[in-house]
């Protein structure tokens, strides 16, 4: 299993690196949309949908949403004079609200869950609220200041990836060594409060380094720490959110497409929360 995980990671990491750094914006949008569509197929599985034709239909439905957004807003108009396109911003606002609702659902679980737990349609709708804003957030960040510096948006994506991965690594090692108090045992028995704390501390080190590297004004460092900390916290929420839906569906992994890792959603669950929330904060307070 470990060997499979390492081989898969060694294949995927360079592909992601090349896509973020070197793909032109138009192909980049479609590649990310393709990843989200695979995630949609798996989300249908987590929604309790077992029929392959229905799961494929949900995947196509998500793809149609992406196609409509791409048709309505071309790459040159995603950002205009430093302002994010209105449609994109509304979707990020909806995402921020969705993750606030998701927090309540996770804290309360399994109480108050019957209204959505027994409805495949509602659970699939949650997938729309998760996957579409993730695509919008990634494209928004990648295209930020693109006409000034084509790699600036890539640095924003790597920043989010860096703090989330640092949080995952810190949470794993601290959780294994010191984890005693369960975070949400009804949702994900392996997560601990100590692990969450370790993850936040590890990510804050990355945030501080980035602030120094980019010469952030001292008066704004606190803002970067708050937004970075919020991004890390909500990334844990994304992980717990997927665990909750998998538990409801009675499955261990979202899919089998990645040997040793499970499905696409098993690898991007944290990012589906981190990217939209960070992008929303970036647009409101940092852009």
CA atoms within 13 Å, Cβ hemisphere of 3:
0
Tell me the per-residue pLDDT of 109-150, one tens digit each, with 9 for 90 and over: 888 888 898 899 999 999 999 999 999 999 999 999 999 999
Residue 75 to residue 88: CA distance in whole angstroms: 12
Tell me the per-residue pLDDT of 209-268, one tens digit each, with 9 for 90 and over: 887 777 778 778 888 888 988 998 899 899 999 999 998 888 988 988 877 668 999 989
Res 287: pLDDT: 67
Q: What's the average model confidence in pLDDT over 275-281? A: 97
Res 8: pLDDT: 67
Burial (Cβ within 10 Å: 0-12, 13-18, ≥19) of residue 102: buried
Asked if the bond preceding 166 is cis, omega within 30° of 0, the reply is no
Q: What's the average model confidence in pLDDT over 77-93? A: 97
Q: Which of these, 77, 80, 64, lies nearest to 135 by C-alpha position?
A: 64
Does residue 6 have a pLDDT over 70? Answer: no
Number of helices (H), then strands (E), belonging to the chain: the values are 10, 4
H-helix or E-strand containing 80? strand 79-80
Q: Assign 181 a pLDDT band (cuts: 50, 70, 90).
A: confident
Top-confidence residue, 118 or 12: 118
Tell me the per-residue pLDDT of 51-83, one tens digit each, with 9 for 90 and over: 999 999 999 999 999 999 999 999 999 999 999
DSSP state of 79: E
Question: What distance lies between CA 272 and its chain's CA centroid?
Answer: 2
**Number of other CB atoms surrounding residue 268 within 10 Å:** 24
Contact indicator for 228, 241 with CB cutoff of 8 Å: no
Residue 76 to residue 199: CA distance in whole angstroms: 37
Q: Assign 22 a pLDDT band (cuts: 50, 70, 90).
A: very high
Residue 121 to residue 138: CA distance in whole angstroms: 26
Q: What's the average model confidence in pLDDT over 280-285? A: 95
**What region does 211 belong to: left with phi over 0, alpha with psi -120 to 50, or beta?**
alpha
Res 256: pLDDT: 83
Residue 268 to residue 60: CA distance in whole angstroms: 20
The residues spanned by each domain of the chain are 2-286
Tell me the per-residue pLDDT of 244-254, one tens digit each, with 9 for 90 and over: 999 888 898 89
């Amino acid at each position: 299993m470990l060997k499979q995980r390492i081989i898969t990671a060694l294949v995927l990491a360079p592909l992601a690196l090349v896509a973020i750094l070197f793909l032109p914006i138009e192909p980049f949008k479609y590649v990310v949309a393709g990843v989200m569509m695979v995630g949609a197929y798996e989300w249908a599985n987590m929604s309790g949908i077992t029929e392959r034709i229905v799961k494929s239909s949900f995947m196509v439905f998500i793809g149609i949403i992406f196609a409509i957004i791409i048709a309505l807003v071309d790459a040159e108009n995603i950002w205009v004079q430093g302002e994010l396109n209105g449609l994109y911003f509304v979707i990020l606002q909806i995402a921020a609200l969705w993750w606030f609702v998701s927090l309540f659902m996770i804290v309360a679980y399994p109480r108050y869950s019957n209204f959505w737990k027994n409805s495949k349609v509602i659970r699939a709708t949650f997938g729309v609220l998760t996957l579409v804003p993730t695509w919008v957030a990634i494209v928004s960040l990648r295209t930020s200041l693109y006409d000034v510096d084509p790699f600036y948006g890539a640095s924003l994506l790597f920043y989010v990836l860096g703090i989330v991965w640092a949080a995952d690594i810190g949470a794993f090692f601290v959780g294994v060594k010191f984890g005693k108090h369960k975070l949400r045992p009804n949702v994900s028995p392996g997560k601990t409060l100590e692990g969450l704390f370790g993850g936040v501390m590890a990510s804050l080190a990355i945030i501080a380094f980035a602030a120094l590297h980019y010469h952030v004004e001292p008066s704004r460092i606190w803002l970067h720490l708050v937004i970075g900390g919020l991004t890390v916290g909500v990334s844990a929420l994304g992980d717990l959110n997927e665990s909750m839906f998998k538990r409801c569906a009675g499955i261990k992994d979202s899919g089998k497409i990645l040997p040793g890792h499970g499905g696409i959603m098993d690898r991007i669950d944290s990012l589906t929360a981190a990217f939209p929330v960070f992008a929303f904060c970036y647009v409101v307070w940092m852009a």
